[in-house]
Structure 1
Amino acid sequence: MSNILNKLQQKLAERAAQGNLRALKTSTGLIDFCSNDYLGLARSEKLRELISQEEDKYKSLPLGATGSRLLSGNHPLFEELERIIAAYHKGEAALLFNSGYMANVGLLSALPQRGDTVFYDEASHASMKDGLRLSFAKSYSFKHNDVADLQQKLKHATGQIYIVVESVYSMDGDKAPLEELAILCDEHNAALIVDEAHAVGLYGEKGEGLTAALGLQDKVFAQVITYGKAMGNHGAAIVGPKVLREFLINYSRAFIYTTGLPTHTLLALKCAYSLLPQLQHERERVKQLAAQLYSQFNTIRGIRCTPADSVILSVFKEDAAQLKPLALALQQQGFDVRPVLSPTVPEGKERLRVIVHVYNTEEEIVGLVQAIANHL
C-alpha cells in the first residue's frame, strides 16, 4: 500500500509545484462574487416557506426514493414534476437526473451510437466530454463559437450527427450562436443538444432558458436543464421528445443505476418553478449590475474583462501567476472571488471568475473594483 500512497503523493506534489493544487475551503461571511446563485433562490426565505408548506402536503411519501426509479424509487411526484418541467421549457417530455453532471454523462454516453458523429464546442463542460468518452460514437471538438470551423468539420461526419453546446458558457460567460447552429443542423439533418445550465432563470420571459427565449425549442433536440445554479437547488432534467425520454429510461446507465432524488429535492424544485415567473425584476436587475461591473472593470489598467453582456465575468491579467495572490488579497478584504486555473481552463486562459448576483449591491461592486485597482 505504501507504493500506492507514494504515487498519489507524487501526483499531488506535481500539481502543487505547478501552482494548481485544489483544496476545499469555506467562505463564510465574505461578499459573494463566486457562487452560481444568480437570483438568490438558494437563500430565499420565500422559497423556504413554500417548500415547508409543500412538505406538509406530501407527508405520505418517504424522505428518500428508496431505490432506482425502475425499482422502488418512482412515485407520482416524480411524474408530476417532470410534466411541469417539460411544459415550462416548451418540450414534449422531461426526465430527472441527480445532477447536471449525471444528466450530461447519461445523455451523451447513451444517445450517440457506434458510427454516429458528435461535434462539441471546445469550451463545453467537462461532463459533456466525459459522457462522450463513454460513447461508442466518434466525437470531435470545434473552435469555441466558431460556426465556420464546425461547418468545415461536418464534411467528415458519418451516421447521425449531433452538435453539442452550452447556451451560456460556464467559464467564459458568452452565448452560443444558437440561431446559426439551428440553421446548420437543418442543413445537415443534425440533432442539436443544448446545455442550459447557466441560462435557466436568467433568459426567457419566465426564465425558461436561451433556447425558449429565442423560440428555438422545436429546433433543439434536447435541452439539459440544471438546478444547482439560478434555481438554487440540485439535480437536472433532460427535456426533449417523448421517445428520447423513453430511450433514456431504457439505455442511460446514469439513470438506470442511480437512486432517485429525495422527496425534499423534488418539492424544492416544484416550488422554485412556481417562483421563477415572478422574478422578471430580478433577472433585469442582475444583468444591470453585471453591466455596471463590466464597465468599471475595463477602466482599470492592467486587466481585461469579458464578456460585455453576461453575469459571468472573466478578469484576465497578462501574468497569470498573479491571479492567485490577487484572489487571496480580495478574500482578505471580504470579497469572495476565486481564480480559475489550468486544467479547468487551458493554459494561457487563466482568469478570475467573477459572478454577479441580484443580492450584490452597487456599493459592493464599487468596493470590488477599487480593491482590484489598489492591488495592481
Structure 2
Amino acid sequence: MLGSWQAKLVNRIEDSTVRTLKMQRDCVDFSSNDYLGLARNPLFQGDLMSIVLKYPSALKGATGSRLISGNTRTQEEVETFLAQRYGVESALLMSSGYIANLSLVSSLALRGDTILVDELIHRSVHDGCQMSAATKWKFRHQDLNHLESLLKKARGQIWVLVESIYSMDGDYAPLADLIDLTEAYGANLIVDEAHAVGVYGNGLVYEQGLMSRVFATVITFGKAMGFHGAAVLASQELNDYLVNFASPIIYSTGNSDLMALSIQAAYQFIDKNPTLREQLQQRIMYFNSHLKRTDRKVLFSAIQPVIIPELNKLKSTAEELERAGLSVYPVMPPTVPVNTGRLRICLHTHNSFDEIDRLTTIIKEYL
C-alpha cells in the first residue's frame, strides 16, 4: 500500500505535472532570471576574478551561523554599503530571498496577528505563514478593494505582503496606492523586490521614493545581479529583532565573504554600464511588438507570460521551442492556478532580435 506521500507523487506522474531535474542544455536562454546577463558577462566575471585574487580568504565558507563564527567585517561593510545606497538604517544579508521571506513572516507575525498576502505572492511567503501562529488571509491578485475589505476585519498587528513585480505574471504592484491603504489601517507593508532590483535601478520602491513608507523591503541578488543572496532593508531595530528571533537566520550557516563582495561588485558593474537596462527594454518592446501585446501591466517587464490553459498544448509548444534550440520554461499547476498554465518567457540583454524573431514565430503558430 502506498504511503500518502508516495500517492501524491504517483498522482502528479499520472496527471503529467511531475517535476524532474534536468541538465542545462546549450539553448538560447528565454528561461533564466539573468535579466541583465551578468551571470554570463565576461567583464563582470573578470571583476569577480579580481576580487578572488585580491581577497583569496573570501573563498572560504562561513564555518557557522553568523551568531557563532559566521560574521565578518566584510559582510558588515557590504551591509553598510547597501544601507547607505538605499537610504535606510540597516541592511541584513541572508543566503536567499526564500530565507529572507521565511525569516520575516515566521518571526514577526505572532498569535493574534493577521497576515494579508496577495494570492500570487512567492511560495516563500506562504511557507513563512505556515511557520507562524498568526491568521493568514489571501486577497485577490492586485485587488485593493478586496484587500481593504480584509483590512477592516483584521485583528492584532496587521502584516501585508506583496511583490513589486510578480514572478509568474510579470505585472507591477500599485505601490503608492498600497502604501496609502495600509497606512490608513495601521498595517505594516513588506515588499519583495526580487524581480525589480537591477532591472529598475535599485528596485521600484526606491525608484518611486517610497523607502521610508514601507516597513521592510526584501532585495535579492540571484536574478538581475547574476549571483545569489538577499538582504532585508529596514530599521536597525527590525534587523536586530531578526537576528534574535528569526530561526532561519539563527540556525543557518552564514554566507561567504565572496558572496557579499560579489553583490557589491554587481551594483558597481551595473552603475558603470547603464546601457544594460536600455538594451533589455529594447528587447522587451521588440518582443511585445511582434505579439501585438498592449497590456501596460506587463508591457515593460522582463517576465512575459504567454497563457496556454490546455496542458497538452502547453507541453507541445515548449517541446517545439526546445527542438528549435530555445529554452522556455512551461509553468503548470500547482505553481500557477488551474487553467492558467503558461510559457514563462524571460527576456535578457543577451537575447538577439533574431532569437526573439524565432521565438515569437513559433509561439504565434500555437496561439
TM-score calculated relative to the size of structure 1:
0.93
Residues 306 and 189 of structure 1, relative CA distance in 2, 3 Å threshold: closer
Q: Which runs of 5+ in 2 are unaligned?
A: none
- Residue aligning to 2:348: 357
Taking the aligned partners of 1:123 and 1:370, their CA distance within structure 2 comes to 30
User: What SS class does the counterpart of residue 321 from structure 2 fall into?
Assistant: helix
- Residue aligning to 1:132: 129
- Residue aligning to 1:221: 215
| Alpha-carbon contact 1:55-1:267 (below 8 Å) kept | no
Aligned residues: 366
Shift of 1:373: 2.9
Residues 305 and 338 of structure 1, relative CA distance in 2, 3 Å threshold: farther
Alignment of 1:320-339 (within 5 A): 320-339=311-330
- Residue aligning to 2:194: 197
- Residue aligning to 1:163: 160
2:83 paired with 1:86: yes
User: What SS class does the counterpart of residue 258 from structure 2 fall into?
Assistant: helix
Shift of 1:97: 1.1
Alignment of 1:9-20 (within 5 A): 9-20=6-17
Taking the aligned partners of 1:375 and 1:147, their CA distance within structure 2 comes to 35
- Residue aligning to 1:346: 337
Among 103, 115, 123, the residue aligned to 2:112: 115
User: What SS class does the counterpart of residue 109 from structure 2 fall into?
Assistant: coil
Taking the aligned partners of 2:340 and 2:84, their CA distance within structure 1 comes to 39
- Residue aligning to 1:181: 178
Among 52, 64, 68, the residue aligned to 2:49: 52
- Residue aligning to 2:299: 308
Shift of 1:369: 1.1
2:234 paired with 1:236: no
- Residue aligning to 1:43: 40
- Residue aligning to 1:31: 28
| Alpha-carbon contact 1:294-1:305 (below 8 Å) kept | no
Shift of 1:118: 1.4
2:102 paired with 1:105: yes
- Residue aligning to 1:275: 269
Taking the aligned partners of 1:109 and 1:37, their CA distance within structure 2 comes to 29
User: What SS class does the counterpart of residue 218 from structure 1 fall into?
Assistant: helix
Shift of 1:188: 1.2
| Alpha-carbon contact 1:231-1:272 (below 8 Å) kept | yes
Residues 306 and 368 of structure 1, relative CA distance in 2, 3 Å threshold: farther
User: 1:46-73 CA deviation, whole Å, 9 max, x = no partner?
Assistant: 2222122222332345611110010011
User: What SS class does the counterpart of residue 60 from structure 2 fall into?
Assistant: coil
Among 354, 360, 364, the residue aligned to 1:369: 360
User: What SS class does the counterpart of residue 192 from structure 1 fall into?
Assistant: strand
2:151 paired with 1:154: yes
User: 1:168-188 CA deviation, whole Å, 9 max, x = no partner?
Assistant: 000000011100011112211
CA RMSD of aligned residues (A): 1.8
2:141 paired with 1:144: yes
Among 245, 248, 258, the residue aligned to 1:251: 245
Taking the aligned partners of 1:273 and 1:196, their CA distance within structure 2 comes to 15
| Alpha-carbon contact 1:291-1:310 (below 8 Å) kept | no
Shift of 1:9: 4.4
TM-score calculated relative to the size of structure 2:
0.95
- Residue aligning to 1:294: 288
Shift of 1:115: 1.6
AA of the residue aligned to 2:359: L
Identity %: 42
Shift of 1:309: 2.5
2:310 paired with 1:319: yes
AA of the residue aligned to 1:86: A
User: 1:246-282 CA deviation, whole Å, 9 max, x = no partner?
Assistant: 0000001010111111232222112112112233221
Taking the aligned partners of 1:51 and 1:308, their CA distance within structure 2 comes to 33
Which stretch shows the higher mean deviation, 194-203 or 131-140? 131-140
AA of the residue aligned to 1:362: F
AA of the residue aligned to 2:39: A
- Residue aligning to 1:208: 202
| Alpha-carbon contact 1:39-1:230 (below 8 Å) kept | yes
Q: Which runs of 5+ in 1 are unaligned?
A: none
